[in-house]
């Protein structure tokens, strides 16, 4: 049987699914992606509302990710760079801190910011140096503890933890208590130190669209919801049965495979609200962090501080909430508007949209960087992909999709399951 004649299906057109298809294509196969919605991207999507680009959650790409360099044409994405720093709002005052070694404009603000002690700043330099020397493999072999315990063990004061580390990494980890594994902290910190946070000019969805547009021998079937995945067939919710040789499940598999019904993944959620403002009080492309413990808001960002293709008339403000609350959407909007005024002296002109992202990041206790292709195999003809297998990052999503495709290819080309394939499926 020729490679292109195998019926290989991928469930989900998110980043993992698209990378799996890309890897299969590169090895001569012609897969079919079954996607439940009408667009690709999964969690990596952008809406256009009133001319504004609204990413589904405040998202950035770290250009130091090895798999981003491998699978994406970074230059073609027209990446806009964030400055390596942040504006911290605390006690109704704004202070700017950053890495002056990579951007000299941050030198004076950082020196005068009065955030943390001199000892804290020396410890940050020491941490930067140590993580530059530490390999990613070693990071994920290191004994895990919470990020908060890790920072305390490094000798950082409560001030620098509460005013910088907690608000900054709460926005990345989507939890306010810094209970995320220190492995993830070291990995993300290393990636920030070796590169920059960037965002495509056309929004985060440009990553998904570039991967989709690069597929030449893949069929994508949109608006098809899968009910069940069997060894040799896929059952859609409309009752249609699709015959298959192999399936890669690039979404949560527990509701699709009968023997996984009791294995549910816990997810971190967040709210992302967008507003129009007449002006922005953060002129440079810097994230704003709300360090006040009573605040519900975690971070803000003025998208027009970067070059975008938005055609909105005013400034676009993104607001992220990661703390749990019991407010309905109407009350949440009012509360966020009040906090923007109280903590940041920002007056909003108009509310645009709120995204409640229930499955924003997998909540994982045991993190790893990589997985062997054979470990993605759930059953002889079924493979798994998704960042929940590794760690919550775009790099992990890409890597897991690649590994699932490699595992499938290894099975085929090693002749491990070819004898089970019947001509009735061709």
Q: Tens of pLDDT along 378-405? A: 999 999 999 999 999 999 999 999 999 9
Same domain, 105 and 250: no
Q: How far apart are CA 107 and CA 147, in angstroms?
A: 27
* Collapsed DSSP state (helix, strand, coil) of residue 133: helix
For residues 21 and 27, what is the distance between their CA atoms, to the nearest angstrom? Answer: 10
Q: What whole-number distance in Å separates Cα of residue 77 and Cα of residue 54? A: 17
Are 341 and 288 contained in the same domain? yes
From the list 52, 53, 58, 46, the residue with the least C-alpha distance to 272 is 58
Residues 40 and 157 occupy one common structural domain: no
At 422 the pLDDT is 38
For 297, the enclosing helix (H) or strand (E) is strand 297-302
Among residues 333, 362, 391, the one where a domain terminates is 362
Beta bridge partners of 55: 46
Give the separation between CA 387 and CA 192, rounded to whole angstroms.
Answer: 19
Distance in angstroms (rounded) separating the CA atoms of residues 218 and 214: 10
Query: What is the pLDDT, as a whole number, of residue 421?
Result: 43
Same domain, yes or no: 281 and 400: no
271 and 255 share a domain? no
Q: What is the pLDDT of residue 261?
A: 64
Which CATH number fits the domain that encloses residue 87?
A: 3.90.660.20
Is residue 181 located within the same domain as residue 137?
yes
Rounded to whole angstroms, how far apart are CA atoms 74 and 344? 34
SS3 sequence of 259-321: HHCCCCCCEEEEEEEEEEECCCCCCCCCEEEECCCCCCEEEEEEHHHCCCCCCCCCEEEEEEE
CB atoms within 10 A of CB 327: 14
pLDDT of residue 259: 77
247 and 379 belong to one structural domain? yes
User: Which of helix, strand or coil describes residue 207?
Assistant: helix
Q: Where are the alpha helices (DSSP H) in 134-226?
A: 136-139, 147-153, 158-160, 166-173, 182-194, 205-213
Same domain membership, residue 166 and residue 242? no
Token look-up 């603000």 returns 109
Which stretch of DSSP H or E encloses residue 16? helix 15-26
Do 254 and 396 share a domain, yes or no? yes
- Last residue of one domain, picked from the residues 343, 362, 381: 362
What confidence score (pLDDT) does residue 424 get?
38
Q: What does the pLDDT read at residue 94?
A: 93
Residue 405: which CATH number? Answer: 3.50.50.60
> Which of 159, 151, 82 lies closest to 113 in space, CA to CA?
159
Q: pLDDT of 267-292, one tens digit each?
A: 999 999 999 999 999 999 999 999 99
- Which residue ranges of the chain lie beneath pLDDT 50? 416-426
Rounded to a whole number, what is the distance in angstroms from the first to the last CA of the chain? 9
Rounded to whole angstroms, how far apart are CA atoms 50 and 315? 12
Domain end position, chosen among 194, 213, 247: 194
Contact 3, 405 (CB under 8 A): no
Are residues 135 and 279 both part of a single domain? no
Domain that holds residue 183: 116-194
Three-class SS state of 244: coil
Task: Count each helix (H run) and each strand (E run) in the chain, helices first.
Answer: 12, 21
> Which of these, 352, 226, 254, 346, lies nearest to 297 by C-alpha position?
346
Same-domain pairing of 131 and 79: no
Residue 107 and residue 55 share a domain: yes
Number of domains in the chain: 3
Contact 37, 234 (CB under 8 A): no
């Amino acid at each position: 049987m020729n490679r292109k004649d195998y019926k290989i299906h991928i469930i989900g057109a998110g980043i993992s699914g698209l990378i799996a298809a890309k890897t299969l294509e590169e090895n001569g196969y012609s897969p079919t992606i079954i996607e439940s919605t009408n667009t690709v991207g999964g969690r990596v999507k952008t809406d256009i509302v009133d001319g504004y680009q609204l990413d589904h959650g405040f998202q950035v790409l770290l250009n130091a990710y090895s798999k981003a360099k491998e699978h994406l044409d970074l230059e073609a994405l027209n990446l806009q760079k964030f400055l390596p720093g942040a504006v911290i709002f605390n006690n109704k005052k704004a202070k700017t801190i950053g890495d002056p070694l990579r951007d000299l404009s941050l030198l004076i603000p950082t020196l005068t910011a009065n955030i943390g002690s001199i000892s804290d700043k020396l410890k940050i330099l020491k941490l930067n140096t140590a993580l530059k020397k530490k390999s990613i493999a070693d990071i994920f072999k290191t004994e895990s503890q919470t990020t908060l315990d890790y920072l305390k063990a490094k000798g950082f004061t409560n001030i620098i933890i509460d005013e910088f580390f907690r608000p900054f990494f709460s926005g990345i980890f989507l939890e306010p208590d810094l209970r995320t594994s220190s492995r993830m902290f070291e990995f993300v910190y290393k990636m920030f130190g070796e590169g920059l946070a960037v965002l495509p000019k056309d929004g985060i969805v440009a990553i998904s669209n570039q991967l989709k547009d690069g597929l030449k021998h893949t069929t994508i079937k949109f608006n098809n919801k899968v009910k069940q995945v069997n060894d040799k067939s896929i059952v859609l919710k409309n009752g249609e049965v699709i015959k298959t040789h192999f399936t890669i499940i690039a979404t949560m598999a527990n509701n699709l495979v009968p023997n996984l019904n009791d294995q549910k993944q816990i997810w971190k959620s967040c709210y992302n609200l967008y507003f129009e403002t007449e002006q922005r009080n953060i002129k440079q492309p810097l994230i704003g962090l709300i360090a006040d413990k009573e605040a519900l808001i975690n971070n803000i960002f003025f998208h027009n501080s970067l070059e975008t293709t938005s055609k909105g008339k005013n400034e676009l403000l993104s607001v992220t909430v990661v703390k749990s609350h019991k407010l309905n959407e109407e009350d949440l909007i009012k509360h966020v508007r009040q906090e923007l005024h109280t903590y940041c002296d920002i007056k909003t002109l108009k509310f645009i949209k709120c995204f409640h992202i229930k499955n924003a990041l997998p909540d994982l206790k045991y993190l790893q960087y990589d997985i062997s292709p054979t470990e993605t195999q759930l059953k002889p003809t079924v493979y798994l992909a998704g960042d929940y297998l590794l760690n919550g990052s775009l790099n992990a999503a890409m890597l897991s999709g690649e590994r699932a495709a490699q595992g499938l290819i290894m099975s085929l080309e090693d002749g491990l399951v070819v004898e089970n394939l019947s001509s009735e499926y061709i």
